[in-house]
Chains A and B, each alone.
Chain A
Amino acid sequence: MMKFLKQVGDYAKETVQAAKYIGQGLSVTFDHMSRRPVTVQYPYEKLIPSERYRGRIHFEFDKCIACEVCVRVCPINLPVVDWEMNKSVKKKQLKSYSIDFGVCIFCGNCVEYCPTNCLSMTEEYELATFDRHELNYDNVALGRLPYKVTNDPMVTPLREFAYLPKGTLDPHDLPKGSQRPGRRPEEIAEELKAAAAKKEAANADAAE
């Protein structure tokens, strides 16, 4: 009899607990309702991609030495490097270069390993086409620079969360000149420069 009562009690306890958890969950959802939407009204508003955004790859034809490192570090050997040996100068001469962005995973390995820095990542991400073969960019298409969001008169550029001033959650209607918290890369570079100059001066003093 006691065992049965204990079972009933445990069951009731579990039920109350379940109800409590559902109540907690409801309060979470309810709380979310009063938060501001995070919506970016896309074609009219666009987020400014961060500095390290890995978008479409940019390629500079004249810098390329046709070493094919990009092909070797690519997970699927994607870049197509067409070159021929120029006997007179004993150098490889690049004829054409292409990357198929329908297959590329934008890992950025090629950019990282390129010895002459002829590859770079852009902030372009709107690559939609009607035919996937149009995504196979040749060296001309790869050499085009993307249009910046901040220069587009049709688009309201919005800053990403990490680039908003401290305590701000809404990228709309920021006061002019507001900056993200922390030091900006230029400031850090300047400080480092100043520190280096100081150290040099100290060294020079010591040498005397």
Chain B
Amino acid sequence: MNSGIDLQGTFITSLTDLGLPPGLAKVFWMPLPMLLMIIGATVAILVSVWLERKISAAAQQRVGPEYVGPQGSLQPAMDGLKLIFKEDIIPGNADSILFTLGPILVILPVFISFLIVPFGQNLLISDVTIGVFLWIALASIQPIGLLMSGYASNNKYSLLGGLRAAAQSISYEIPLALAVLAVVLMSNSLSTIDIVQQQSGYGILGWNVWRQPVGFVIFWIAALAECERLPFDLPEAEEELVAGYQTEYSGMKFALFYMASYVNLVLSALLVVVLYLGGWESPIPVGFLADLLGVSETNSAVQVITASLGILMTMFKTYLFVFLAILLRWTTPRVRIDQLLNLGWKFLLPVALANLLITAALKLAFPFAFGG
């Protein structure tokens, strides 16, 4: 397996050639991908907010934002600017430290989770061996932040919303983790790179979605619940709870919640793509096409094309899922809290467990197809 472009290696060798010690060269390298990823994630927020508003408008036969920028594409940036200039209010008798800490605790784990999201063979910040597990672990910090902000707001709606958010996150994390576990079982690794590599080689036929259809559906449902997207948006159900834990927030603190929810959506979609839809792999393997055209895979031009195609493929598939989430938002009615917990504990959990056991059995029975 050829490893494609290694930007990090090239950068570090070029710096060491200039006479820098390798350690220092690595220090110089490290902020670059992080910065790039943070910028990428922020742009992804703007794009998904714009998509959400435009697609929602289309689904309701409206026009949506159209005055700020071409087709209203600068509207989310405008909204962000507005929120920056808004007064930052801390309600009376609220716990100001917890109130400030809450949104930070909500948004930080989401951004840190981008550490493990691969866009290509070497196009990720760090190939952590515990990969997806890190994501699940980080995701469970979020409900603490939600609970914190709900509790600190000194508002009954906020408290109820925070409690609901915590209950929802905790109950959907388990089926989510079990669905991930089945994938991990097949690829023998928690690393996101290994998980994608295990799906590569056969194009669209090799993707995990064919081997894990049940896990795929469970993962998507649980991910929607984790993101508090519409069929499961009880924590901020405006008809019942005003805006849940966000009720008392305004200005930049509210913007943090808002950003966190959209980054989380994009992140979940990215992970669906990585775990089930072959990450950066194209439906038709690039290596196969290169062979067909008689070009070597180690050719630098081919490598650049492969890498950019990989990024494009990942983003395309990701936004396909963002689109699906938006469409689901206008299709499915909100579930009640008891229905939500019933679905999580009485349906998704046993099914995910059965899926895991069946995967293990299939792995023992057909090691060639299920990653022996």
A residues 26-62 in Cβ contact with B at 8 Å? 26, 28-30, 32-33, 35-39
Instruction: Confirm or deny: B58 has a beta carbon within 8 angstroms of a beta carbon on chain A.
Output: yes
Instruction: Confirm or deny: A22 has a beta carbon within 8 angstroms of a beta carbon on chain B.
Output: yes
Instruction: Confirm or deny: A25 has a beta carbon within 8 angstroms of a beta carbon on chain B.
Output: yes
**Residues of B close to A30: CB separation below 8 A:** 327
Partner of A32 from the list B59, B63, B328, B347 (CB cut-off 8 Å) is B59
**Complex interface bits, B327-343 against A, C-beta within 8 A gives 1, otherwise 0:** 11011100000000000
**Residues of A close to B63: CB separation below 8 A:** 37, 39
Instruction: Confirm or deny: B205 has a beta carbon within 8 angstroms of a beta carbon on chain A.
Output: no
CB nearest neighbor in A for B329: A29
Distance of A29 from chain B, by nearest CB (Å):
5
Contact of A26 with B61 in the complex, beta carbons under 8 Å: no
B residues 311-340 in Cβ contact with A at 8 Å? 327-328, 330-332
Contact of A37 with B61 in the complex, beta carbons under 8 Å: yes
Contact of A26 with B327 in the complex, beta carbons under 8 Å: yes
**Complex interface bits, B283-323 against A, C-beta within 8 A gives 1, otherwise 0:** 00000000000000000000000000000000000000000
Partner of B332 from the list A25, A32, A38 (CB cut-off 8 Å) is A25
CB nearest neighbor in B for A32: B59
Instruction: Confirm or deny: B10 has a beta carbon within 8 angstroms of a beta carbon on chain A.
Output: no
**Complex interface bits, A1-40 against B, C-beta within 8 A gives 1, otherwise 0:** 0000000000000010000001001101110110111110
| Bound: A95/B331 CA distance, A | 59
A22, A29, A30, A39: residue with the most chain B Cβ atoms closer than 10 Å: A29
Instruction: Confirm or deny: B55 has a beta carbon within 8 angstroms of a beta carbon on chain A.
Output: yes
Contact of B331 with A25 in the complex, beta carbons under 8 Å: yes
Partner of B61 from the list A15, A25, A28, A35 (CB cut-off 8 Å) is A35
| Bound: A37/B60 CA distance, A | 8
CB nearest neighbor in B for A28: B331
A residues 143-173 in Cβ contact with B at 8 Å? none
Contact of A29 with B61 in the complex, beta carbons under 8 Å: no
Interface size on B, residues (CB 8 A): 14
Instruction: Confirm or deny: B365 has a beta carbon within 8 angstroms of a beta carbon on chain A.
Output: no
**Residues of B close to A28: CB separation below 8 A:** 331
CB nearest neighbor in B for A39: B63
B55, B58, B331: residue with the most chain A Cβ atoms closer than 10 Å: B331
CB-CB under 8 A for A26 and B328, given A37-B63, A39-B63: yes
B residues 33-65 in Cβ contact with A at 8 Å? 55, 57-63
A residues 47-96 in Cβ contact with B at 8 Å? none
CB-CB under 8 A for A26 and B57, given A37-B63, A39-B62, A39-B63: no
CB nearest neighbor in B for A30: B327
B55, B58, B63, B332: residue with the most chain A Cβ atoms closer than 10 Å: B58
**Residues of A close to B328: CB separation below 8 A:** 22, 26
Distance of B283 from chain A, by nearest CB (Å):
21
| Bound: A192/B61 CA distance, A | 42
Distance of B94 from chain A, by nearest CB (Å):
35
Contact of A33 with B331 in the complex, beta carbons under 8 Å: no
| Bound: A44/B60 CA distance, A | 21
Contact of B57 with A29 in the complex, beta carbons under 8 Å: no
Contact of A37 with B332 in the complex, beta carbons under 8 Å: no
**Residues of A close to B55: CB separation below 8 A:** 33
**Residues of A close to B62: CB separation below 8 A:** 37-39
**Residues of B close to A26: CB separation below 8 A:** 327-328, 331
**Residues of B close to A36: CB separation below 8 A:** 61
Distance of A27 from chain B, by nearest CB (Å):
9
CB nearest neighbor in B for A31: B59
Distance of A10 from chain B, by nearest CB (Å):
14
CB nearest neighbor in B for A38: B61
**Residues of A close to B332: CB separation below 8 A:** 22, 25
| Bound: A37/B63 CA distance, A | 6
Contact of A37 with B59 in the complex, beta carbons under 8 Å: no
Contact of B61 with A22 in the complex, beta carbons under 8 Å: no
Distance of B170 from chain A, by nearest CB (Å):
24
| Bound: A30/B58 CA distance, A | 9
Distance of A16 from chain B, by nearest CB (Å):
12
| Bound: A28/B59 CA distance, A | 9
Distance of B303 from chain A, by nearest CB (Å):
38
| Bound: A26/B59 CA distance, A | 10
Distance of A24 from chain B, by nearest CB (Å):
9
28 residue pairs of the A-B complex, CB under 8 angstroms, read A22-B328, A22-B331, A22-B332, A25-B331, A26-B327, A26-B328, A28-B331, A29-B59, A29-B327, A29-B331, A30-B327, A32-B58, A32-B59, A32-B60, A32-B61, A33-B55, A33-B58, A33-B59, A35-B61, A36-B61, A37-B57, A37-B58, A37-B62, A37-B63, A38-B61, A39-B61, A39-B62, A39-B63
The 4 closest A-B pairs by CB, nearest first: A25-B331, A33-B58, A39-B63, A29-B331
Besides A22-B332, A32-B58, A39-B61, 18 more A-B contacts (Cβ < 8 Å) are A15-B347, A25-B331, A26-B327, A28-B331, A29-B327, A29-B331, A32-B60, A32-B61, A33-B55, A33-B58, A33-B59, A35-B61, A36-B61, A37-B57, A37-B62, A37-B63, A38-B62, A39-B62
